[in-house]
Chain A
Amino acid sequence: MFVRFLSFLLLLLCSAVTLCAQVETPIISGGVQFLSTTAGGVTTFNPLIAPVVSIPIGDRFLIESRGTFDEFIFRENGTSGPYHAHTFSSVDYLQLDFIANSHVTIVVGDFLTPFNIYNERIGPVWIRNLADSPLIAGIGTRTSGSSEGGMVRGVAVSRKNWQITYAAYFSALVNASQFGAGRSAGERVAIFVPSTRLEVGMSYQRFLQHQHLNSWGGYLVWEPRSAPLELRAEYAHTRGGQGYWIEGAYRLSQFRGPGSWLGRLQAVARVEQFYLGTPSPDDVLPGADTQKVNLGLNYYLPHNLRVNGSYGRQFSSLGNSNIWNVGVTYRFLFPLLPGGSK
């Protein structure tokens, strides 16, 4: 893992050295997390680092990449015995962006599949409100969460009171160890109302290998200006099943301000349901109808540090379980090269 991590950084560093003279500064950002999970009485630990490297080239190009390096620490017999650790590393995306104009950006390479919003926008550990991914996160993103090929995206129409955004992509079948993706094509279209910060969108994907299948979904994101409330919801359907999640997060910053001890606290709740369809071996979906409730508390410390804890109760014919998560997350941003901050 260490060699892969070094190779990954070295490759990007070499590119950045040639570009250090330009006005934009290549940066490395991302998050570090330590998470303790107790599910069904079995406790595991999961330290993780997910660096994002961004290298601008000229006025219109950007190379960006995110890797995830994590370790899964567990006891041999679940609740007893010596500890063991498995390490994992993956390149989540590695893409070249060309910003043609306000309406069109062309992306080539390995990119996060833009199906609904969780995978692309709120999945990173330093953004997500709850440690657990939704039950339907595998719909439309298949197993790797990324696609290999090309994507066109941007703002189709922009008016003072509303915007229509879009993303359309094609992915080829790639079996490389770090860049696995399935052959598929899809799109996402959304309407965004800036005055109320309301966004409603829909996604469609046609999976084009083995058994051809359709996945489609819709989402809603609303952050009213009058209250520190985040409301997010997704629905997704595919042959393997369908489901939804609704998540609300309320930060107590209305009491004594966002910097006060109370204002740094955020309460989160998510309810979700999944209904099993016709499962296929490639699915990363629950094996039975499942309902889940998650309640969490996040505490935002200074310097981009966050402590988070959550309790979840999952109901399924395969067995009910309690899931406890306690973790700490740090979000970082540095210039990629020493002395690169200017």
Chain B
Amino acid sequence: MNRTRVFRVALMILLLAILTAVAKNAASQQQATTPKPAAAKAATNESEEGEKRFETNCGRCHRPPEALSPGEARTVVRQMRVRANLTAEDERLILKYLAP
């Protein structure tokens, strides 16, 4: 199989996966516009908001670390504040999630 063909097939598979994800994302955003009073109430909890901020920022590169002490969590979040450009509000809420 020549290299152009292999490359095109790989590129097509990748583009297909991207298009599928785009379509799914659009569908889920439409669903998200439907009011959900219970979910809205729960989101007021700072720890849950911290989990959201973690998923939004830190979770893009890695999963949450296992079992951190409060002192370790403070150091990790400060390090990530520099590396991932977190705001002071992000830092405070993510700490609530990692070390409640």
Contact = CB atoms under 8 A, between A and B. Distances in A.
- Interface SS of chain B: helix
Contacts of B56: 194, 197
Interface string B25-58: 1011100000000000000000000000001110
Contacts of A341: 69, 71-72
A196 interface: yes
A113 B96 CA distance: 31
A279 interface: no
Contacts of A250: 17
B75 A27 contact: yes
Contact of A62 (B25, B70, B78): B78
Contacts, number: 135
A333 B68 contact: yes
Interface in A319-342: 320, 331, 333, 335, 340-342
Contacts of B68: 333
Contact of A269 (B14, B70, B83): B14
Contacts of B10: 269, 271, 293, 295
Interface in B54-100: 55-57, 59-62, 65-66, 68-72, 74-76, 78-79, 81-89
A12 interface: no
Interface residues of B, number: 44
Interface of A: 23-27, 29, 54, 56, 62, 64, 97, 99, 101-102, 105, 107, 120-122, 126-127, 153-155, 158, 163, 165, 194, 196-197, 199, 221, 223-227, 229-231, 246, 248, 250, 269, 271, 273, 291, 293, 295, 303-304, 313, 315, 320, 331, 333, 335, 340-342
Cβ-closest 9 pairs across A and B: A25-B71, A226-B28, A315-B3, A224-B25, A165-B85, A102-B87, A341-B69, A293-B10, A24-B74
Interface of B: 3, 6-7, 10-11, 13-14, 17-18, 21-22, 24-25, 27-29, 55-57, 59-62, 65-66, 68-72, 74-76, 78-79, 81-89
Given A102-B89, A155-B86, 6 more contacts: A99-B78, A154-B85, A271-B10, A293-B7, A293-B10, A333-B65
